[in-house]
Chains A and B, each alone.
Chain A
Amino acid sequence: MSHKDSSQTTPPKRRGPMGGGHPGMGAMLPSEKAGDFKGTLRRLLSTLRPHRAVIIIIFVLAIFSTAFTILAPKVLARAFDIIGDAVIMRFATGSGDLDYTSLLRILLIVAGIYLFSAFFNWLTHYTMAGVSQKVSFSMRQDIDKKLAKLPLSFYDKTPRGEILSRVSNDMDNIAMTLQQGLTQLISSITMIIGILIMMLTISPLLTLISVVTLPLAALLTARIAKHSQKQFSRLWETTGTLNGHIEEMFTGHQVVTIFNRQNKAAAFFEVENEKLYRSSYKAHFISGIVMPAMNVLNNLGYVILCVVGGIRMVNGQMSIGDITAFITYSKQFTMPITQTSSILNTMQSTIASAERVYNLLDEQEETSDAPASDFPEKTRGEIEFIDVDFSYLPDEPLISNMNLHVSPGQTVAIVGPTGAGKTTLVNLLLRFYDIQSGAILLDGIDIRRYPRDVLRSYFGMVLQDTWLFSGSIRDNLMYGVGDHVSEIPDETAMISAAKAAYVNHFVKTLPDGYDTILSDQATSLSQGQKQLLTIARSFLANPSILILDEATSSVDTRTELLIQKAMSKLSFGRTSFVIAHRLSTIKDADTILVMNEGKIVEQGNHETLLAAKGFYHDLYHSQFRSELDEAI
C-alpha cells in the first residue's frame, strides 16, 4: 500500500508556517511527549469528582435499566412455555386451550419491564448529558482562567490557532466521548456484571470458559489501543498546527494575496493537511479493527462453549434448558464486552485531546500576585526607576542600569530612535514583563508589591498597536472603564470623550452611530479612526497615570492638533508619559527623556535639550530644518 512508504518521506520535524521552520519555534507547547496515558486519564476522571453523586445515581439507574434488560428474557421465556405447553398438550391429548389470560398477563408484565428499562435508560442518558456538559464547561473555563494567568511571553510564542484548536476542537472531542462513552461504559459494565451473575448461577464451569476469552480480549484491546493512541495524538496535534496555519493565513490574508503567496500558503497547508489525513484514517482504521477482532474472539469462545456444553450434556451433567439459557446469556455477554473495548479505543482519542488541554493548563504561569490589601483607588503618580535591568531574551540585555524619577503630575515625554526601548519602558511599568534586577517604585512602593490588576488600574493608555474588539463602538469606548471604577460614565460623558478625540464626527456619519457593530479587527474603519477610538477610550478611563505610546501616529496632523488640547487637558495634574516621534507634540512636556539603545542619553526640557546641542538637537532638526527650510 502506497500510503506506507510515502508517509515516511514526510519530515517528522514540525515546521514554521512558511515552510522553513526553525528550532525553538516549533515546540510551542510540549505536546509531543504524549504517553502518560494513565496520568491523563486519572486527571480527566478527577474532573468528574465534583459530580460524584450524580454519577453514582447514573450507576444506580444503569443498574436498574440493565437488570430489567436481563430480566425480561427470563419472563418472556415463560410466555414461550405457555405457548409451547398448549402445543404439546394438543399434540399429546388432541385438545388443549392456550391460556390467553396468563399469556396476556405475562406479556403485560414484560411490557412493564421494558417500559421501566427504557425509562431508566433514558434517565441515565439525560443525566449524563448534564454531567458531561458541565465537565466540558468547567474545563473550558479552566482554560480561560489559565489564559488570564499566562505571561505575555507565552502569547508571543504560541500560535493563536493552536490555542483556539484546544478550546474548540480538542474540547469538542472530549465532550463527545464524555457524553457517549461514559454512559455506554457504565451500562456495559453493569451489563457484564449482571450477566456474569446470571451465568454463574447456571454453570460456574461454563462461565469460566466464557471468561477465558476475556484476557485475550483485554490484550487485543490494549495492543490496538497502543497503535491508535499514537495516531490519535498525532491527529490532534496536526489539527492544532493546521489550525494555527489557517488562523495566521486568514489573518494576514491581504499580505498573502498581495505577494501572490497563496500557492505557498496552500503548499504548507497541503503538507499538514496530508499529515492530518494520514493520521486520521490510520487512527480510525485501527480503532475500527476492535469490533471485528472481538467478534472473531467471541465466536471462537462460542464454539468452545458449544463443544463443552454438548459434552456435558451427553454426560448428563447439564439440562437442555440450562444450556440454551446459558448460551443465550453468553451471546448477550459479548455485546457489552465488545462495546467496552471499542469505547476504550475511542478513549485514546479523548486522552490525546485531554493531554493537549492539560499541557496548556500546565504552562508556566506569571509569578504569583501580591496579596490584595487595601490600595487606594487613585495614586499620586510618583514613579521611580532604580538601577533597572531588563532584557526580553536572556543573552541580549536591553535596558541596563536605568534610573529615573518622575514627580507626581509631571508630563514626561520619551523620544528616541525606533527600537530604543520606549515601548519596553511602558511594558515594564505595567508589569507586562518583570524586570531582572533593580526596582520600579510607584508612590514609593515597589510595583511588584501591588497586585497586577491594582497597579494597572492606575494607568490609562493608548498602546502603539490599536486593538478593538468585535462589538459596538459604544462598548469599545466603554471598554476603558475599569471594572472597579465606582461610577460608570454616562452617555454624555462618553459623547464628550468621543468629541474630544474627534471620534464623534465620523461616528455620526455611520447609519447606526455609536451602535455600529465593528467586525473582528474592525476592518470597516480606517486605521486613523481606530486610533481615535482608542484615544477616546483612554479619555473615558480617567486614569491616575496616562500613557500615550505614539497615540496619534496614524492620525492626520490637523486632527492631531485638535486632540492635543484635549490631551493636555487630560494630562494636566496627572503623571503622564508621552511617546511620540512628532516632536512638536511633546515640546511642552515637563521632562523629555531621550532614549537610545535602552539607555536614557539625555534628560531635560525642550529648551535645555536644544541648547545642549546633543542627540535631541539632532532629532529635532532632522524633523524641521533640513528639508522644510530649503523648501519653504
Chain B
Amino acid sequence: MASIPADKHGTGSVENLPPHETYRHAEHFRNAADEFDAAKMGVWLFLATEVLLFSGLFVFYGVMRMLHPEAFIHGSSLLDWRWGLFNTIVLLLSSFTVADAVRCAQSGDQKGLKRNIVLTFILGTAFLLIKFIFEYAPKYAEGKLPGAFFSYPNWESPYEPLWWGLYWGATGIHASHVVVGMGLFIWLYIRAKKGHFGPKHYTAVEGVGLYWHIVDIVWIFLFPMLYLIH
C-alpha cells in the first residue's frame, strides 16, 4: 500500500453525514488546517508563475510598441473597445460569482454553491463566445492576422502584422486559460453535487476561485493595453 491518497472523502454513509463532514485530511499532514494552508500556498505559487508568464508577454508588448508605435496605434484603433469593455464586465461579474461560490461553500450553502459555479461557467462561456463570434471571426475574415498570414489591405504601417501577432498571441494565451477554467468549473460542479464541499472542506473551490481571479486580472491588464492606449 504505497499510496497516500491526497484527498480522502468519507462515503457519506456513516451516520448519514455528507462527505464534506466526514472528510479526513491526507495522512502526511498533521491536521486539516495544515493541509488547507499547504494547498493554498501551492495555488499562490502557481499563480505567481502565471503572473510571471504574462509579465514576460507584457514586456514583449512594451518593447515592440516602443520600436513601432505607429503600427500599434493604428492596429489598436481597429479593435472595437466596446466589445472589449463588454467582455471586461462579463469577466468581472464572473469574478464576483466565483467569490460568492467560495462564500457559499464556507457557509455550507450547497444550493448557492452550485448556482454560483454554474453562473461562473456561463459567464466564462459568454466571454469566449463573444470573443470568437464578434472579435476573432471578423478579424479572421478581414485578414487581420499574425505575421505571414496578414492580408488586411488598409494597413498604415508595414509592421502591423507584428501587432496582430501580439494581439492574437496574447488574447489566445489568455483565452486558453479561460478554457482551462471552464474545465475546472465542470469538475467543481460534479464534486459539489456529490457534496464534497462544506465549511470544513472547500480547498478546491478556493483554489479554482483564486485561479479565476488571476485570469480576470490578466484581462484587466490586456484590455487597456490592447484596446485603449492610443
- A, B in one complex: no
